[in-house]
A = this chain, B = another copy of it.
């Protein structure tokens, strides 16, 4: 008994008026008399009228849909960001079309293509790890589909982006450890190729120098982010001639690997070894031995801001406002969060 939704045409026939009148009446157009307007609305309700959005989308050339392309949804950071994106979009009556690149640059290209075909109104993107060319995004400009990058943003001028500045958080982190009395602070950083690694290193150095201490390059080691390599980095740091009593790690996972290591090593020196990490993932709440602090990167906020920007761009477009010469680039200051565990 599948009763296809009623259309404007059917309402029109039932009332013996024109389709356009029905359409206008339902939109409270001024040129439709009060009585007809009410009649139309009543009948529409009776017939369970629902506008066919696909027709509207088609007609208006707008889908009220924003595409989201990110590496991996099941990563806590991204699922949190996506959650924010969906919520923010929902409030402005937009829906979210979701796709994962799985950190595959090729798939990312295909997805951009697909999003374009779906005629999304705009795109939110967090780059795949190995994306190094950006023409597929350039092409979107031709179709007037705005793109806002978040978290993993390309090194390009003239883009819209939201990202977290790691430097501040790192400075805070190092300061925090210095205040607690640590003097030899190690850092297990990420691969040198990552932009984020550079920011962390900069922050480390600035904090050290502002405290009028001497920067010792041997205290920073680069890690490929695997558990094995973390082990290597840890032993390297512990073997340092200076007695490392605190370590800043590239992210929570590295910290957890390292903590596990130190505890299994059972060195007396490790009793006081303190860790600070990045991300502040929810799993931290469930750990027994957690880093003493974590640099929060606000995935939820990033998702929210990025969506705000995109919606703003879309609203501007609607208003036919002057050609956008402005580019939105928000950097959120990362922030140190102490983990108050009664541990």
Contact = CB atoms under 8 A, between A and B. Distances in A.
B95 A118 contact: yes
Interface in A258-305: 259-260, 263, 282-283, 286-289
A117 B263 contact: no
Given A58-B54, A74-B83, A260-B288, A4 B143 contact: yes
Contacts of A259: 288
Contacts of A90: 99
B288 A54 contact: no
A53 B118 contact: yes
Contacts of A63: 54
A144 B2 CA distance: 6
Interface string A234-265: 00000000000000000001001101100100
Contacts of A256: 286
> Which of A4, A51, A57 has the most CB atoms of chain B within a 10 A radius of its CB?
A57
Contacts of A4: 143
B288 A289 contact: yes
Nearest to A57: B54
A34 interface: no
Contacts of A286: 253, 256-257, 260, 283, 287
A83 B54 contact: no
Nearest to A79: B79
B119 A53 contact: yes
A55 interface: yes
A96 interface: yes
A82 interface: yes
Interface string A70-96: 001111101110110011001000011
B54 A143 contact: no
B86 A98 contact: yes
A197 interface: no
Nearest to A139: B48
A141 B4 CA distance: 10
A98 B289 CA distance: 36
A1 interface: yes
Q: A-B pairs with the 7 shortest C-beta distances?
A: A79-B79, A283-B283, A58-B58, A256-B286, A54-B58, A73-B83, A2-B144
Interface of A: 1-5, 50-55, 57-58, 61, 63, 65, 72-76, 78-80, 82-83, 86-87, 90, 95-100, 114, 116-119, 141-144, 253, 256-257, 259-260, 263, 282-283, 286-289
22 contacts: A2-B141, A4-B143, A52-B119, A53-B119, A54-B54, A55-B58, A74-B282, A76-B76, A83-B100, A86-B98, A90-B99, A95-B97, A96-B98, A96-B99, A97-B97, A97-B98, A256-B286, A259-B288, A260-B286, A263-B288, A282-B283, A286-B287
Given A95-B97, A287-B288, 12 more contacts: A5-B143, A50-B117, A54-B63, A65-B97, A73-B79, A73-B86, A75-B79, A79-B79, A83-B100, A95-B118, A96-B98, A257-B286
